[in-house]
Structure formats: C-alpha cells, structure tokens
Amino acid sequence: MTTEAELLGFLKSERDRQVDFLQRFARIDTANPPGDTRQAADFFRAFLDKEGIAHRTEAPKANNPNIIASFEGGRGPGRHLVLNGHLDVFPVGDRATWQRDPWSGDISDGRLHGRGTVDMKCGTTALLFAFAYLHRLRADLSGRVTLTVVSDEETGGKWGTAWLLEKCAKDVTGDCVLNSEPSGLATVRFGEKCMLWLRFTIAVKGGHSAYPHTGGSANKVAAALIQDLLAIEKMAPDEPATVRATLDRPEVRAAAELSLGAGAADVTRRVSVNIGTIQGGVKINMLPPDCVLEVDFRLPVGISRAAVLGRVAEIARRHPGTRFEELLPGGPEANVSDPTHEMMGHLLRRAGALLDAPPQPIVSLGGTDTRFWRTRGVPAFVYGCSPAGMGGVDESVSLAEFHHVMKVHALAAWDFLAGG
C-alpha cells in the first residue's frame, strides 16, 4: 500500500470518529463574546495527547488559549506548512428563535446542527484530523507541519493569530498557510477585502422642530452625509494584473456567484459601504443637536485605506459640524496571495477530482486570520464548506462537505510536503 493510500484509508475508516469529535465540539459553548474557549482547548489538547503529538499552549489572556502543535517530516528539511483554524464562534442571540438548542450538536438529514458549526468548527476539526493523519505518515514527508488552533478570531484576532505571529513568529510563520473557513466548495480564496470602520459624529445647534431655520438638524446632515458616503462605492480599483486576469474569467465570476450569491462577483471588486448604526434625536418635535453614525467600509484589492480616508475627509468637510474617527486604526489593507501559487494548484486539482467541476480562485468578501500571514508575505489559501447559514439562527453544516473539506486539505498538504 502506498503512503497516499494509507492517508485515504485513515480519512475513510475514521469517519465515525471524525463526526463524533465535531459533534462533541459543537456542544461546547465558545461564543465570542465572551470568548471563553478553555473547555474547547482542553478538548483539542486531549485529542493531540491521544495521537501522541507534542503541543503547547500560548494564552496571552487566560480565557483565550491558543494551541501550537508541530512536527518534522522524516525525509529531512523542506517547506513549512501551517494549518490554521479558530475555536470561537458568533454569539447565539435570542435562543427563543432557534428550533434546536444552539449547542445541541444534533444530526439530522446529513447535517450537524449548532452555533459555529459552519464558522468554523467544521473547518477547524477537519484541519485537526488532517494534521493528525499527516503526523502518522511523517516518515514520508519533508519539511515541517504546524497546527495553530486559536481563540479571538471573531473579535479581530488580537489575542489569537495576531499575537502568535508577533510573539511566536519563528514557530508559526511558515512558507504557506491552509485555512478552512467557510468558502463554498466551488471556490478557493486567495485573498480578501479589508475592513475600514469609521464613526461619524455630527453636532449642530438643534432646537424646536417648528423653527428649523434657527438651529439645524444633525439627522438631516447625517442623511446628506450618507448619500455622499455611498458614492465611494464607485471608486475604481487598480488591481494587480494577475488578480485582474483571474477575476475577469467567466468561470471565476460564476463560481463567486454560486458560493456567495448573485452580485458577489461585482461586490468582490468594489468598495461596499454599510451604515451599521445611526443614533440621533431626542423627541419627534425637537431638532436633533447631534447624531452618530458607524459605517463599515469593505475595500477591495487595489483601493487603499488611505485613498478612502482621503475621500471621506473631503466629504466630511462639506457637511458642517461633522467629524470622524477610525475605530480599528492600523488595520491591514486588502490582501492577496498569488492565485497561480503551487498550493492553489493542489487545492484545485484535489477538490476538482471529487466534484463535478473544479473550484475557482476568488477573493473573499469577509475577513479571516489568513490576512495576518499575507501581510507578512506568506501565501495563504482558504477552502471550506458552504458559508450558507453561518452566524444565523439554526446554523448547521453538511457532513458530506465536512468530509470533503478534510480530504482536500489532507491531500493538498500531502502534495505540498511529499512532492506529489
């Protein structure tokens, strides 16, 4: 039996164990906030111990442990592959709206139910098992494999991946990164848009609504401001040639729309502006003296934060009494890896062999921890289950997709490290 056949054998013969682990993981409350992932980290450490894999915990905050596990291949020096997943998930919200307990882990009609099963307990579990199987076959691998299981992803990653790359860079930087956030089986993500969050504060005199000529309305200023901010969506990106050529392909556009919904192919490549919150006014017959807006800008590859901030400053000057501040200063730009990278080829080929049509390379609408590696020049790629339902009521994941994602990552990692 070839070693690759052994890998396929592990993936197939241990399916019940894989589902059991995911089900038990789904029953652990890791909602963030509050973000306490200690019980889940204990669960992962117990698995690694049983597999005989060395690991350590880095916990800059006691409630937010991060796990690092690593091993060397038996065929000598080579490339360093990092696998990255997170433990924390979105909050549940109003439990009364759920048909099942959000932490039930129930299995029905081929789907496993619970908060975070899509984002990303499915993916983190898939990487854990892929890592364990590669460890069993390490004698036939070159280089090094590292698994990072982190906390705090849902609230920015400051105490998770960002902290590890700052404090443990030698151990976790690597030469390439695989991540299994939900992407949809039709796409592999080689980059992502970035977030620019701004808070606008408008202050005017205000007064009685019967006398609008005496004091002005902060809410009226806000309405005009919003219209001007929405015009930023028309900014044209200056995309790198390889990115433009990739995203222009009809099959790539079709895959983006299949995975992310109609219109996604265009949204991927332009600024989106979401007026997330508006707070202004005291009483219906009073002119509001102040109004506060919080706005989420998502910037595509080819449009810088500085360019958008410059446009925002120009707009704010046109609206008396308006000032703004950045809520996440110093954040990364939109970021990409080379869509023709070797690892992309492995992922597309291995996934394509299991599907009716091969997936296509796209840029993600949302953010993942892979941005922290890309900004350090490390290629990073995301392939995971369908994002449908993530963060929503009655979230659930397809077990067929769970097994598929695990298999693709295990085989792509094998190709990268064993020269397949």
pLDDT digits (tens, 9 = 90+) for 160-202: 999 999 999 999 999 999 999 999 999 999 999 999 999 999 9
- Output the pTM of the full model: 0.93
Q: How far apart are CA 176 and CA 56, in angstroms?
A: 21
Residue-level pLDDT at 416: 97
pLDDT digits (tens, 9 = 90+) for 212-242: 888 899 999 999 999 999 999 999 999 999 9
Mean pLDDT calculated for residue range 86-98? 96
The DSSP string of 172-216 is H--SEEEE-----TTEEEEEE-EEEEEEEEEE---EETT-HHHH-
Identity at 150, one-letter amino acid code: V
Does residue 420 surpass a pLDDT of 50? no
- Residue ranges per domain, the chain? 3-192+334-418, 194-235+270-326
407 Cβ contact list (under 8 Å, min separation 6): 8, 11, 350, 354
Does residue 331 surpass a pLDDT of 90? no
Environment class of 168 (CB within 10 Å of its CB; exposed 0-12, middle 13-18, buried 19+): middle
Residue-level pLDDT at 1: 63
Q: How far is CA 304 from CA 20, 216, 312, in A?
A: 45, 35, 13
Does residue 243 surpass a pLDDT of 90? yes
Backbone angles phi, psi at 194, to 5 degrees: -115, 160
Residues above pLDDT 90, as percent of the chain: 93
Q: How far apart are CA 405 and CA 420, in angstroms?
A: 19
pLDDT digits (tens, 9 = 90+) for 353-374: 999 989 999 999 988 999 999 9
Mean pLDDT calculated for residue range 122-134? 98
pLDDT digits (tens, 9 = 90+) for 274-302: 999 999 999 999 999 999 999 999 999 99
Mean pLDDT calculated for residue range 316-321? 96
Class of domain 3-192+334-418: alpha beta
Mean pLDDT calculated for residue range 62-67? 96
Q: Which residues of 180-219 are buried (b: 16+ CB within 10 A; e: fewer)?
A: bbbbbbbbbbbbbbbbbbbebebebebbeeeeeeebbbbb
Does residue 397 surpass a pLDDT of 90? yes
Identity at 285, one-letter amino acid code: N
Residue-level pLDDT at 419: 72
Does residue 345 surpass a pLDDT of 80? yes
Output the average pLDDT for the chain.
96
Identity at 236, one-letter amino acid code: A
Residue-level pLDDT at 72: 97
Whether residue 4 contacts residue 414, with contact meaning beta carbons closer than 8 Å, is answered with: yes
Q: How far apart are CA 198 and CA 305, in angstroms?
A: 11
Residue-level pLDDT at 2: 78
Taken in order 126, 127, 133, 134, the sign of the CA dihedral is positive
Mean pLDDT calculated for residue range 1-15? 93
Question: What's the CATH architecture for 194-235+270-326?
Answer: 2-Layer Sandwich (3.30)
